[in-house]
Structure 1
Amino acid sequence: MARNIPLLDASWLYVESKEAPMHVGSMAIFTVPEGETTQQAIGRIVQLLRNSVEFAPPFNYRLSSPRLLTLMPKWIEADKIDLDYHFRHSALPAPGGERELGTLISRLHSHPLDFRKPLWEMHLIEGLYGNRFALYTKMHHSLMDGVGGMRLMERIFGKSAKESMNLPAPWSVGTISRKKKNSEPQHFADQAREAWEAAKLSGQSLPAAGRALMDLMREAVKPTDPALATPFSGPKSIVNKRVGGARRLATQTYPLERIRAVAEAAKVSVNDIFLAICSSSIRRYLLERDALPSESLTAGLPVSVRPADDLDGGNAISFIIANLYTTESDPLTRLKEIRRSTQLAKANLQAMPKEAINNYTIMLMAPMMLQLVSGLGGLTRPIFNTVISNVPGPSRDLYFSGCRLEQFYPISLIPHGQALNITVVSYSGQFNVAFTGDHDALPSMQRLSVYTGEALEELEAALGVTWESKKAAEPVAASKAPAKTATEKRPAAAKKPAARKPVKAPED
């Protein structure tokens, strides 16, 4: 049965290009349980996955017209799916460290998905030292946003090792639509009535969305408050060029409680601290390249509007724009002003009726989409300089086929004109940050992740915050350990392993 693709979802399909594919991904690192070797666990898991040939939405969705020749694209459920194409088994070269993992995933994330097939891939990666392996998954943004992905993740993985042993393959779980999957097909009259009601509701909300957008436009023409960032108010910079097909990946992880301690001391939110250390990192990176603009950079901040009970796929997001104050040298002043900017932007969005937010988002993002479709992305001033996203994740440990999920990182997309994306996911007391960048535009991108750590230390010093568990919790900086042999077992201790070194791709 065909399913119409909503306009916001379809827009990610239409702006797709070879150099700027519109898929998002994740990197999940697992630890093999005691009493089982890595080789045994991977052999068992691969067999389980290869024998799983039932596919649930959105893993069985494919485009009705792969070349997007229709005005309104549709999803149709594929009758036959080549599992060998979608699920792949890879191995890291020696020594199997975070560097090798980052290099492989950077390359995998660079390749576009095939529009003739369901738009997803999953790669099981072995050879990671320390009795570990990784799962890299990518899916087209038209099928899933960040919060939807987190809710799907909580259904795919178990809350205990025992529970996870009885779960099916991820593609057999899928999302849960608000309409029951086994419900009777609707008659044409019912479909037409639903479409009419939706159109009326959308039409009624257009004036409110239009007024909110006009307020932003008036502020852009005659600024009254520098804290209120507007579309296209950010300057062009080296992160706003056209992108190539190759990607870079860098990561950093912090204890969530450490971030919260700084936020409490500064009387701001965790997200304010996150934006502040990202701003500081970008500012320092650009200063070192003598490329810091005299005007402050801006960031697009995705805001989820997905209801708490919505377990379906697709996109349920809007955007606010924040001033990053990259021209401000004092870290506390920068933090204070970033907070004021985000509060103003949130207040404007929250003042709108819920029904108007989708129309507002479409109108707000339309210029950016037109830039990309017309080929002007990266050649003109960007709607905002970068995207910085904070996605709340599970607060407790999760497991996959008996193996504990040790770390989870989001890997995002970068369109023409925005060569850098920074996304954080909180998971089981961790604050896991991933930097996705264009390979050519951002050389030595790993420095951005290092600079966020130093920016956090700078805020701690300025606020008089002492993190007692700092040394034990920060990523290990020692040399890489050799990969264990297939017959080697983990020690009997049941404690969680120490925090690992962040994943990174090699620098030029």
Structure 2
Amino acid sequence: MGFLAPIDSVFLLGESREHPMHVGGMHLYVPPEGAGPDYAREMYESFIAQHEMHPLYRNRPVNPVGTLGNIRMVQDQDVDLEYHVRLSALPRPGRVRELLALVSRIHGTLLDRHRPLWEMHVIEGLEDNRLAIYHKIHHSLLDGITALKMLERTLSTDPDARDCPAPWSPHEKRPRTNSRSGPNPLALLRSGADLIGDVAGLAPTAVRLANQALRGSDVLGPMQAPRSMFNVPIGGARRFAAQTWPMDRLSSVAKATGTKLNDVVLAMCAGALREYLLEQSALPDDPLITAVPVSLRAPGDQGGGNAVSIILCNLATDQADPVRRLETIAHSMRQSKEFMRSVTPLQAMAIGAVNMSSIALNQIPGYARFAQPSFNILISNVPGPTEDLFYNGARLDGLYPLSIVLDGFALNITLTSRAGYLDFGLTGDRHSVPHLQRLLTHLEDSLTDLEKATA
């Protein structure tokens, strides 16, 4: 057993019925040729037969009802796979709409802290014969990049392979887990000087960030976002919407404008949010600000826990012209990235904590209703597999992420790249973000506008 890192412990400390703190993924698979009508049950039974388990999937809070359970994990030696892995069927006609409704309900329920903090649902009954798997795991155990790395290790590039492991099976290259017997004194001695230097730099860095914001710098600091319909208290129910776009379409816009692919992603989202808010008669006069997670992992880092910071970006939703909007976004991202490159990783994490500080403050009753938000929405682009992958012959046909929404931040847009495609997952509070699926139409319209303007 071992203590969690502070950033990981926050996800347990901040959890409540209104704020489940797990992340998830909805994966679509095309069954292999010759698969029969019982293919989903066969896959489910193959999962629950695999009892060998990665330590990460054994982690549970050491004392679920006490304070210690928020900061310390223990390894559960007897994991009940028939509880964690479930087989479900969609009501007829089994459209994607019914799948999204089911996944929305499951995503809104808390994980049982008396058990390891994960669940997996095998879902059959889609009218096009595809199979869905929804997998959720507590954010205190890993970040999105680690989750994708672990998923990719279970899949194969060979459509004929039939020996793929379950997601919880041990792997040769194991991610770091949060369960450890204690600190390594030699490692602490080796890193002590660097750590002291980094900590000493935190206050000057925070002052530098504030000074730049006060001088009108393009680097955004906290509490500069306008109030919007997304910055309100939320309930525990969720809506989820998902759709795929070919990466080539966004890459063509990026090439034509000399911007980055992620700049085009943000511009696509900005245009969609602008139209959605206009539709709701709720577009602020000032531009929306998005929080964008950036990984702090070194090359070769296999993951485990959370190693991310947050930068803020001007979405230019006050501008009607799609190209000017993209240019403003690209400039804002350049400025923020250059600033983050000028500081150490620890200082970068501290800046991210400052940018995210309003999340903690929003848990104070009434705060989210009146306070100035640090940002309006979180948009995250997680790199995924670059080639087609298969699970025992079933081809991966969709990799849609589901994330966390909180008081003051009722909408989250997360996307994953997959073999030439971008899979968007939109997670929203069911009450505060009505007609969430309309954002999918607006995303398509926003991308089309960019394509026309840059053709």
Same fold by TM (over 0.5)?
A: yes
Distance 1:174 1:109 in 2: 27
Match of 1:300 among 291, 306, 320: 291
Return the alpha-carbon distance in structure 2 between the equivalents of residues 349 and 98 of structure 1. Answer: 40
Q: Deviations over 1:429-468 (max 9, x none)?
A: 111111111111111111111101101111111111xxxx
Task: Quote how far apart the aligned CAs of 1:67 are.
Answer: 2.9
Q: Secondary structure at the match of 1:414?
A: coil
For residues 177 and 155 of structure 1, the distance between their equivalents in structure 2, rounded to whole angstroms, comes to 10
Structure 1 unaligned blocks of 5 or more: 465-508
Alignment match, 1:78: 76
The amino acid across from 2:433 in the alignment is L
C-alpha distance after superposition, 1:346-398 (max 9, x if no partner): 11101112343334434443453243366734542222111001111101111
Q: Is the 8 A contact 1:234 1:382 kept in 2?
A: yes
Q: Which amino acid aligns with 2:64?
A: P
Tell me the distance in 1 between the aligned counterparts of 2:66 and 2:313. Answer: 34
1:195 deviates by: 4.3
**Superimposed CA distance per residue, residues 50-78 of structure 1 (whole angstroms, 9 cap, x where no aligned partner):** 21222212111111122351397122110
The yes-or-no answer on 1:272 pairing with 2:263 is: yes
Among residues 324, 331, 346, which one is paired with 2:337 in the alignment?
346
Instruction: Output one character per residue of 1:458-500: Cα deviation in whole Å (capped at 9) or x when no partner.
Output: 1111111xxxxxxxxxxxxxxxxxxxxxxxxxxxxxxxxxxxx
- In structure 1, the residue matched to 2:379 is 388
After superposition, residues 282-431 of structure 1 pair within 5 angstroms as 282-372=273-363, 376-431=367-422
1:449 aligned residue (437, 440, 444): 440
Preserved CA contact (<8 Å) 1:379 1:417: no
Partners of 2:153 and 2:399 lie apart in 1 by: 15
Q: 1:195 and 1:362, CA in 2 relative to 1: closer, same or farther beyond 3 A?
A: farther
Relative to structure 1, the CA distance from residue 387 to residue 87 in structure 2 (aligned partners, 3 Å threshold; closer, same or farther) is same
For 1:160 and 1:86, the matched residues in 2 are separated by 28
The counterpart of 1:206, out of the listed 199, 207, 217, is 199
Aligned-partner Cα distance in 1 for 2:69–2:135: 29
Aligned match for 1:108, one of 81, 106, 109: 106
Q: Return the alpha-carbon distance in structure 1 between the equivalents of residues 66 and 336 of structure 2.
A: 35
Question: Equivalences for 1:7-406 in 2 at 5 Å?
Answer: 7-37=6-36, 39-70=37-68, 73-163=71-161, 165-173=162-170, 176-177=173-174, 191-195=184-188, 198=191, 200-220=193-213, 222-225=214-217, 227-372=218-363, 376-406=367-397
* Distance in structure 2 (CA, Å) of the matches to 1:170 and 1:180: 15
Segments of 4+ in structure 1 off by > 4 A?
A: 174-181, 195-200
Counterparts in 2 of 1:194 and 1:367: CA distance versus 1, 3 Å: farther
CA distance in 1, matches of 2:408, 2:189: 38
CA distance in 2 between counterparts of 1:147 and 1:53 reads: 25
CA distance in 2, matches of 1:3, 1:203: 24
The DSSP-based 3-state class of the residue aligned with 2:67 is coil
**Cα RMSD (Å) of the superposition?**
2.3
CA–CA distance in structure 1, aligned partners of residues 172 and 229 of structure 2: 39
- Indicate how the Cα distance of structure 1 residues 197 and 374 shifts in structure 2: closer, same or farther if over 3 A, else same: farther
Cα gap change, 1:6/1:68 in structure 2, threshold over 3 Å: closer, same or farther?
farther
| Inter-CA distance 116–180: structure 2 relative to 1 (3 Å threshold) | closer
The AA in structure 1 aligned to 2:21 is M
In structure 2, distance between residues paired with 1:161 and 1:391: 25
Shift of 1:315: 0.6
TM alignment of 1:427-506, pairs within 5 A:
427-464=418-455
Number of residue pairs the alignment of both structures matches: 455
TM-score by length of 2: 0.94
Task: Tell me how far 1:162 sits from its aligned partner.
Answer: 2.6
Contact map agreement 1:57 1:174 (CA 8 A) in 2: no
Deviation at 1:211, TM superposition (A): 2.4
Describe the superposition over 1:151-199 as per-residue Cα deviations: whole angstroms up to 9, x where unpaired.
1111011222233x11222111369446799xxx97x7x7344445555
> Does the C-alpha gap of structure 1 residues 223 and 285 become closer, same or farther in structure 2, counting only changes over 3 Å?
farther
CA spacing shift, 1:71–1:407, aligned 2, 3 Å = closer
Identity of aligned residues (%): 35
